[in-house]
Amino acid sequence: MPTFASPRRAPALLLCGALLALTATPALAAPGAPADAARPAPEPRSQPVFADEPVRETVWVDTGLDGDGDGTTDRVAADIARPRTDAPTPVIMDASPYYSCCGRGNENELKTYDDEGRPVGFPLFYDNYFVPRGYSTVLVDLAGTNRAQGCADVGGASDVTSAKAVIDWLNGRAKGYDAATGGAEVGAGWSTGDVGMIGKSYDGTIANGVAATGVEGLRTIVPIGAISSWYDYYRSDGVSFGADPSGLAETVEDGGRPECAAVKQRLDEGAPANGDVTPLWTERDHVPDAANVTASVFAVHGLNDLNVKTIQFGQWWDALAAHDVPRKVWLSQTGHVDPFDFRRAEWVDTLHRWFDHALLGMDNGIDAEPAASVERAPDEWSDEPSWSGETAAPTALHPVPGETDGLGGLTSAPAPADARASFTDDPRQDEYAWAQQPDQASPARSLFTSAPLQEDLRLAGTGSISVTASPSTSSAHLSAVLVDYGPATTRDHLGDGEGIRTLETESCWGESRDGDDACYRDTEATTADVDYRIVSRGWADLANHESLEQESPLTPGDPHEMTFRLSTADHVIPAGHRLGLIIAGTDGAFITAPDEPGRVDLDLAGTAVSLPIVGGSGAAVKAGLDAPATGTAAVRPERAPARPEIHLNGGSFTG
């Protein structure tokens, strides 16, 4: 993994000495040894030396865009909290659409202002913790939200430019003013121009998008549960999750802005319900632009995030790795949860050192530490030098028929040429219903299971499935689900807290100020004892078998070949467990049904799943995947939500 680039210019704070205070505690020397012999090298760390009330102000930055069509360019509001010092400081930025509509963090904090409109309450702990340590924090209202002008365009140019323009202003390349309209021009002489962007969900998505522009001055991003492609948030290989970007735009605009009706119309026109990829979606796909990224990336994602699904992390990480972008990752067992709420003390410490290195240029060794940390069991983490998803080998496994129709084996050996299976699409069912009773056939799915594994088998990365399917009607949706059959204790990611419980106690992180509390309610892991776990899933519209940009007519009875993606995984299937593959129709927990659900026949000889197995085919053989088997022991059901919730903002948009 490459080393991290130093900031563009050394901040003056480093020269004053105040932030070079060392926090490592010297070890006691052995009797008779020189006093310095047993002392470890101290780790440089920024210290909370700025105790005065921060400067709090708002600057309205001109984006150069006219999203609301009023004939003047839009200004976005950048609320700033910065130390009282003459030395220039780096910036930690969170650009968000949620500062007035929906809130940030586990406690849904909103921005607050005094009677004269000056910012007082800054959501999250960033200003409380980092401003005393010599950083400035800038919370940006995206265009069309809170106090910003313009219109929300959900991942488009307006969103990305909202934050990019502020970075340009911090570096003297854009204009800022002391009022939303008119006003005097103001500069950012207090800033070094070096910026680190951070944020969960929509906010982290903006960080990804801005990094993909290659804007000068952005030194690092910390995307948490973030989107890399808006298509894959609302659609998947031709199918729809049932929600649309115009609804989210209306929400973040606090119910909608009449002057933004034309923008919402363009969103609706560019996001057809049939799931085709259009120019609107292409514009909102940051993955192809990973080559532009010059910032380091510290990504965090929940492996059980059913909101911003793991494909968002996996495809972004793969693109970053292909371009040798400096990177680090935490993967948790939670759902859509911030690391502040599942690994708080370690998170604050790691984030502190990350920003010290990326924005202050401190040689604290974080770039030489393990680049990946993965939660294997609740609160049990495993570190590795680099994420194994980069080296796992695509390995083909094949569904083969069994003695009972609808139940078969999963093996490294292909199925016979005449092998067939079938299912009838029942949109009332979903992956949780399909995964239950694996020893019993169901007309709604075809299930293929391996023999009990002889050794642990790790999947790490993004897989895919190729099918040869013949529908009985002119429309067909497909789902594929990977299941680990065997007992385990895991985070209860399907519970209300998606793997955490909020407690009554509080802990404080930084300095509290009047109107801006640094204390947050503690959390703990919630767990569930299960007999199976869904490891990965994927969905597709068979009508898009030739192209995701254009549906092709399906002729009932004719076979069609299609390959579609499975969600990114990092999961160890223990020895003694079985690996299951389910192929079915409409997954009622996630996707919409086709116009005419019907029967689908599978040519098993033309069907295979490609899995990212650490150790490749050799590991698969050692685990016993060359020995087909059918049937598994009965299992207790994993709890399932009635419908998934799309809640980028902490509110709910039922999909």
Cα separations in angstroms, 166 against 92, 94, 125: 12, 11, 21
**Burial class, 3, CB count within 10 angstroms (exposed 0-12 / middle 13-18 / buried 19+):** exposed
List CB contacts of 537: < 8 A, sequence separation 6 or more.
431, 479, 480, 481, 482, 566, 567, 587, 590
Q: Which of 46, 96, 136, 201 is catalytic?
A: 201
- 191 with 91: CB under 8 angstroms? yes
**Burial class, 652, CB count within 10 angstroms (exposed 0-12 / middle 13-18 / buried 19+):** exposed
Cα separations in angstroms, 125 against 131, 206, 432: 10, 19, 37
477 is catalytic: no
How far apart CA 209 and CA 230 sit, in angstroms, is 11
Of 49, 77, 112, 96, residue with least CA distance to 514: 112
State which amino acid sits at residue 164. K
Distance of CA 488 to the CA centre of its chain: 25
CB atoms within 10 A of CB 358: 27
Q: Which of 158, 240, 332, 336 is catalytic?
A: 336
Of 26, 198, 201, residue with least CA distance to 129: 198
Q: For 91, how many CA atoms within 13 A lie in the half-sphere containing its CB?
A: 28
289 is catalytic: no
How far apart CA 259 and CA 253 sit, in angstroms, is 11
Q: Which of 74, 168, 237, 305 is catalytic?
A: 305
> In the structure encoding, which two tokens stand for residue 112, read together?
């607050």
H or E element at residue 448: strand 445-449
- 139 with 77: CB under 8 angstroms? no
577 is catalytic: no
Judging by DSSP bridges, how do beta strands 393-404 and 407-411 pair with one another? antiparallel
Query: Is 329 strand, coil or helix?
Result: strand
Q: Any idea which residues carry the catalytic annotation?
A: 201, 305, 336
